[in-house]
Each structure stands twice: as structure tokens, then as C-alpha cells.
A and B are shown apart, each in its own frame.
Chain A
Amino acid sequence: MLVEALNLVLQPSVLLFIILGVAGGMCIGCLPGLTTTMGVALVLPLTFGMDATQSILLLIGVYVGAVYGGSMSAILLNTPGTPASAATALDGYQMAKRGEAGRALGIATTSSFLGGVISCIFLILISPVLAKFALKFSAPEFFMLAMFGLCIISSISGKSMLIGLLSGTFGILIATIGIDDITGSMRFTFNNMNLFSGISFIPVMIGLFAMSQAFVGIEDIFVKSQTTKKLSHVFPKREDWGLIVKNSIGFGSLGAFVGSIPGVGADIASFIAYGQAKSMSKHPEKFGTGLPEAISAPEAANNGVTGGALIPMLTLGVPGDAVAAIMIGALTVQGLQPGPLLFQNDAPVVYAIFIGLLLANICMLVLGLNSVRLFTKVLSVPKQILVPIIFLLCFVGSYALANNVFDVIVMLVFGVIGYFFHKLEVSASPAILGLILGPMAESNFRRALLMARGDYLTFLSTGICWTFFVLILVSLLWPFAQKQWLKRKHA
């Protein structure tokens, strides 16, 4: 198995795609306004002509590179390239102001690398066990799992659980469009042939995550970034290494754990890590003044998320975050269905993903330590040229999926919806998760009821169902409990 996976990964073309992915991701990540999700969504159409391993490893490369790349602009410009690097900016920019930009970048790079490696180890150790366990799942368990994924994402992502639920149900309803798999009835197609096979979620994702962000980019197109700081050598000092290793092991593991919870992304993980590092520090009052541990902790955590987010995606078919949702799209296009059966039917691809993630992290370390000056040059690309290019890539990318202009229209419509979602602080992630998990939830809901002859108690018939039921209740009640706790704390 390992030999087969190594054969898949160690092909020159695959290695090249990993390197290109990481380099491209670093460029995307370091540009403020271009998020990791947007980068992966834009690169996705390029993978349609590739084989499964090349496709998924290119996307993993972009993912790893972009999560790390955000730290460059966070440290040099005090403008996080991605939300995941916002915590890094707090102390990173202070170090850069002191003339220690190179040291700060070195700490960020090595911590990101070690955090990524730790998460990769978690992925390798946990995924096969979880996938084996998930083989015991039948229709009721899969339905409850899908519901748990939707509930936790609705309650965690965004500022309001109600808005999260609305966004999630919106995604589920879009997924109901098309011919019903079980009865063959037309649902909400309005006799439009383009809707018979439903709305593909890839143009929706490109619209919601890339096009809408480009519209936001148009809104602040004339906002100028500050000048880049000069860089000295980018390598951590000898005294920093102990701290980097210690923080990376702890906070990388934390990131991997947080990443494995559906809906909790790298941005939340990095802030949790920053808070934890501060509370564990002997001098918490110095946080915010440019401390190496305040860079190391969030960077290890946000790259730790990369492997963690792949755990539920590969083993259960439930994406850990929006990027993992796009990767599900990439695997589906390649004819692979993420979930426990993936480990049985396409094990070499799964192990190739493990090895590829490790290689992507090594590549990120090498590029980060050697070519950081080159990547910071990307910061000088004017938005006036970048935004029209993103428009074009969104158009061509959504068309390339099925060579169908209808997909371009879908992308454009969802780009407009995504822009207004952004204005109204509605998180688009639950909508995408609804779109992906909706069909899984519905088909298992109906199959379970068919098997149980309409008895709804089938959804509470096993211990696994009960566990998910309790988790659903906890995820729905958690925001209220948190609010009450905060109220009491402030009173």
C-alpha cells in the first residue's frame, strides 16, 4: 500500500504540482483580500484535466501555502493576508517594527512547518481508525452525522446561530433542485433542462468564495497598503528553537484537534492558540509588544488545522472547513467519494494524500526560508489588475467544469448573493456545507425510514445515533450557554 502510494506521489509531475501549489498558495495567502478558500476555489478548475492524485495534491499544496502565506503580510504590513494570520499580526508586526522582520518570519515559517507536520501525524494516526469505525454506520447514523455537521457549522461559523441556520438551510434547499434520486420526480426545476441534474456546487463555491471576494476587492480597490519592511536573514536564532519546538508540538496538536471539528477553521484555532500561549506565559503583559512565542503559537495552530480538517473529510465525507468542502468537490469530479469506503476502495490515493501533505509542508519550509523576499514582491501587484484577473478566472473556471454557460450564470448569481451575504455578515460556509451534506442527509433520512417502515425512532435506535443526538443538542445549545456565561461574567 505504502509503495503504491509512494509511486503515485513521487512522480515528477505530482511533485511539480505540489511545489507549484505551495508557491501559488503562498502568493495568494500573502495578498490581503485573497483568502485561502478563494485561492483553492480558483485553482480547482485547473485540476479537472488531472488525475485524482495530481488534483488533490495541487489543492493541498495551495491550502498549506496559503495558510502560511498570510503570515508574511501580517508580519510585514500588519495586514493579515488571510483571517488565519490575524493573531500573528499582533506581535509579528511589532517585531518587524523593531527591525526583526526576518526573525519573525523565520519563527512563523518553522512553526507553521512543525504545526503542519504534527497535524499530518494526527491525520495518519486517526483517519484509518475513524474510517474503520465509520464502516459500522448505516443510514440512520449517516443521517445523524450529516445533521451534526450542519448543526455545528451553523452554530459555530459566523456571529449568529440563527443566521448560520438560515445559510445552512438555504444550501440544503439548493441541493434539492433536480430529479429526485428515489422516485424520479422533478423538484423545483421549472421545466428548465439545465436544472434537471441539479445545481453543481462547484460554480456555487466559486461564486460565494471567489467572485464575492472580488466584489469586496472592488469596494476597497483604492485602499493603499503600507510599505514593505526590509528583510534581514530569514532564519530563527538559536535561542528561538527551543520555544518553536515546544510551541509547535502543543499548539500544532491543538490546531489539528480544532481543525477536525467541522466548522472551526484556522482563524479560530490561531486565536485559541494565542490566548492559550498568553495565559501560559510567565509575562502575559508583554503580549502584543512583539514576542516570539506569540508568533509561534498561532502559526503552529493555523497550519495544524490543515491536516485536522482532512480527517472528517476523508473518513466521514464531512468537510472540516470550506477548503475541505472544495476538496470534496475535487475528489467527486475525479469519481472518488470521500467517506469510509474511500479507505477500502482507493486506499493508495488516501495514503498519497498523507504523503503529499507532508511533502507540501517540507516544500513550504524550503520556499519560506529561501524565497521569502521573492514572495513579498507579490504584495506589489496592484489590485486594479488583480481583481479583473480574478473575475476572468471565476468565469473560465466555472465554465470549464462542464463546458456549460449555465454554470457561469450560476456562479455570477451566487457571486452577487455572496457579496450581500458578506455585507450582512452571513457566513457562506454553512450554505456550502448544506449543499454538500444536504443530499447525504436526505438520502440517508429516506433510506432509514424505508428500512424502518416509517418509524422515526430509527434515528435513535443505536448508541452511535444517541451520541450524535447529544452532540447535536450540545452544538445547538452551546451558543446560548456561552452567552449566559459571558453575561454572568460581565455582571
Chain B
Amino acid sequence: MRSGKLVLAAGFLVLSIFVFILSLQLPPTRNGVPGPATWPVLVSIVMFISAISLGVKEFFKSNETVIKIIGKDQIRVYISMTALFAYLVSMMLIGFSVSTFIMLYGFITWLGNYKWHFRVICALVITTIVYCVFHFVLKVPFRFGILF
């Protein structure tokens, strides 16, 4: 956990410096009236100080609890994240309904242990319900992709 917190502190430290530098390019404060840069600069300074304090506090901490980041269970999460980014791309290229059916069928097959016809019915029913509720009832247009 200690190394994780150090990485977290470093991440926020970099973000605060980045925001601070970008803010300097914005119009400055005039006649005591704050410009668009004042607020982000103030917030980035608070973030910088907090990140440094967290880093120092964690650096001198002795107890180390382990955060599971590359275990079997976590790899399953990273695969899911990648699959969802792929689903987003395929949704725009192929279309909402077909991509959603494939995504649901894929996940249920991968995570569960069901017979193929149950998986097909399940994916089909969920896709149809969600499509009908959002498209016909809530009037959300799903107009993208070459199919539907």
C-alpha cells in the first residue's frame, strides 16, 4: 500500500505542476480582480502541498500492506477494461445492437458456465430490452455504425 500511495502522491504532484504551468498561459489577474488563472493556480498549489505531504508521510511509514494489482483477479479486470474500450469502438463502427449483443454474449460466456442457447437468449433479451427502453421510450437515438 505504501508504494501505491507514493505513486498516487507522485501522480497528483505531476498533475498539479502540469495545471500550474498551463494556468500561467492564461490571462493574468488585473487590478486585483482575479483572472481565469487564479482559481486553478490556487487549487493546484493546494494539490501540490497535499501530494508532497502525502509522499513524505508515506515515505517514512514502516508498515507495508500489499495491494493486489497484478493477480489473476485483477488481470480479469484489465481484460474487461480493454474489452469495453473495444466495445466502444465497435459500437461506433458496427452499430449499437450488434456490438451490444456480442459484448454481452462474450462476457456471459467468459465469466459464466452456461449452455450456449441460454447465453444467446440472455444476450438477445437484455439487448432488446435496453434498446427498446432507451430508443423508443426515452427517445435516445442510437444512430451509428454500418449495421444497427
Chain A residues with a Cβ under 8 A of chain B = 45-46, 48-49, 160, 162-163, 165-166, 169-170, 172-173, 176, 180, 182-183, 185, 187-188, 215, 218-221, 382-385, 387-389, 391-393, 395-396, 399-400, 403, 405, 408-409, 412, 415-416, 419, 423-426, 438, 442, 445-446, 449-450, 453-455
Does more than half of chain B's interface fall in helix, strand or loop, or is it mixed?
helix
Q: How large is the interface on B (under 10, 10 to 19, 20 to 34, 35 or more residues)?
A: 35 or more
Whether A169 pairs with B43 at a CB distance below 8 angstroms is yes
Whether B112 pairs with A384 at a CB distance below 8 angstroms is yes
| CA distance in complex: A48, B22 (Å) | 35
B residues within 8 A CB of A403?
A: 140-141
How many residue pairs at the A-B interface have CB separations less than 8 Å? 160
Whether B33 pairs with A449 at a CB distance below 8 angstroms is yes
| CA distance in complex: A450, B140 (Å) | 43
Residue B14 is within 8 A (CB to CB) of chain A in the complex: no
Which 7 residue pairs spanning A and B have beta carbons closest together?
Answer: A454-B32, A384-B112, A388-B107, A180-B36, A169-B47, A384-B111, A165-B50
Q: Which residue of A lies closest to B139 (CB)?
A: A49
Whether B47 pairs with A173 at a CB distance below 8 angstroms is yes
**Chain B, 47-79, CB within 8 A of any chain A CB:** 47, 50-51, 53-54, 57, 67-69, 73-74, 76-77
Name 23 interchain pairs, CB-CB below 8 A, sorted by A: A48-B138, A49-B137, A163-B8, A169-B47, A173-B15, A187-B36, A187-B40, A215-B81, A218-B76, A219-B76, A385-B122, A392-B130, A395-B87, A395-B88, A400-B138, A403-B140, A408-B88, A412-B84, A424-B5, A424-B8, A445-B39, A446-B33, A454-B31
B residues within 8 A CB of A48?
A: 138
Whether B43 pairs with A387 at a CB distance below 8 angstroms is no
Option from B47, B85, B134, B141 in Cβ contact (under 8 Å) with A166: B47
Whether B32 pairs with A405 at a CB distance below 8 angstroms is no
B residues within 8 A CB of A219?
A: 73-74, 76-77
Whether A185 pairs with B26 at a CB distance below 8 angstroms is yes
Question: Which of A163, A166, A442: most chain B CB closer than 10 A?
Answer: A166
Q: Which residue of A lies closest to B48 (CB)?
A: A169
| CA distance in complex: A220, B50 (Å) | 33
Residue B19 is within 8 A (CB to CB) of chain A in the complex: yes
Interface string of B2-17 (1 = CB under 8 A from A): 0011001100100110
